[in-house]
Amino acid sequence: MRKIEELMYKEENAWIMIQEWALEAKNKVKILPNQRVDGENTLFKLQITNKSTMGAIALECGGILIDNGWLKILGSGHDRISGNILTWNNFNGTKLEFPLEKAMIIAYDIIGGFYVINAGEFGSSMNTIFYFAPDRLEWENLEMSYTDFLYWAMNGDLDLYYKQFRWLG
């Protein structure tokens, strides 16, 4: 297991890019603050570096609200997001019943959909994002990486994607 110092990079990390994306995003983006110790603990338990977008989010923020909270991207935890990437994926010994052993929840939406990154659960589409669609009760391959998903969440046409679920007001 790598030490936390081996997972954190000051110069070559993805956080600056994420902040730029958030500032220039087409969709409303709210980056939620975290406690630094929570970010470091999350990064350490995930054993990924902050060179990756997932690692940078885990270290630097509690999570990200997209489109006024319609979509919630998990980070190291904040009151406006239920849990964090560790608790949603049983890293902290939480006893959540989740039927996927080889996928990690990375985000969820207001209508009960879940976004996961595939780690073998869905065959050969490794490291791609799958969405559990609550209207169809099945998993859909979005054919994008975590980084692509993050960019899409900030800039994609969410009104079109969620068209049948949107309501006025």
* Cβ neighbourhood burial of 20 (10 Å; 0-12, 13-18, 19+): exposed
Q: Tell me the CATH architecture of domain 4-163.
A: 3-Layer(aba) Sandwich (3.40)
Strand pairing report for 63-66 and 129-133: unpaired
The residue type found at 127 is N
pTM as predicted: 0.94
- Sorted by where each begins, the domain ranges of the chain are 4-163
Would you give per-residue pLDDT tens digits along the chain (169 residues)? 999 999 999 989 999 999 999 999 999 999 999 999 999 999 999 999 999 999 999 999 999 999 999 999 999 999 999 889 999 998 766 666 666 789 999 999 999 999 999 999 998 889 999 999 998 999 999 999 999 999 999 999 999 999 888 876 6
